[in-house]
């Protein structure tokens, strides 16, 4: 996990390559190369943006209500 293990290898992909990739895909659609649906591209972008929001929300909920006790392992 990025935050727990402090593994920062994913940051260039998330902060550099994905925005460039989706900007190119949107520009290609604007320029008339419509081989990939615009609505699907927008759904993918929305999903990428929802990730940090979901992570923040889960941290917030854990801080608000606390962690649940671990359940015993089923044998």
Give the number of domains in the chain.
Answer: 1
Q: List, for residues 7-31, the tens digit of each pLDDT value.
A: 788 888 888 999 999 999 999 999 9
The answer on pLDDT for 3 being more than 70 is: no
Does some domain include residue 75? no
Does some domain include residue 32? yes
Q: List, for residues 41-63, the tens digit of each pLDDT value.
A: 999 999 998 988 888 898 888 88
d(CA 25, CA 34): 9
Does some domain include residue 47? yes
Q: Give whole-number Cα distances, 21 to 16, 45, 67, 70, in Å.
A: 9, 11, 38, 41
Domain that holds residue 38: 2-65
pLDDT at 65: 85
Does some domain include residue 73? no
Between 25 and 75, name the one with better pLDDT: 25
């Amino acid at each position: 996990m990025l935050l727990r293990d402090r593994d920062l290898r994913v940051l260039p992909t998330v902060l550099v390559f994905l925005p460039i990739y989706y900007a190119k895909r949107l520009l290609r659609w604007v320029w008339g190369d419509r081989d990939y649906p615009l609505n699907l591209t927008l759904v993918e972008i929305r999903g990428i943006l929802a990730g940090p929001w979901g992570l923040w929300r889960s941290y917030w909920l854990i801080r608000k209500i606390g962690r649940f006790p671990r359940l015993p392992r089923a044998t």
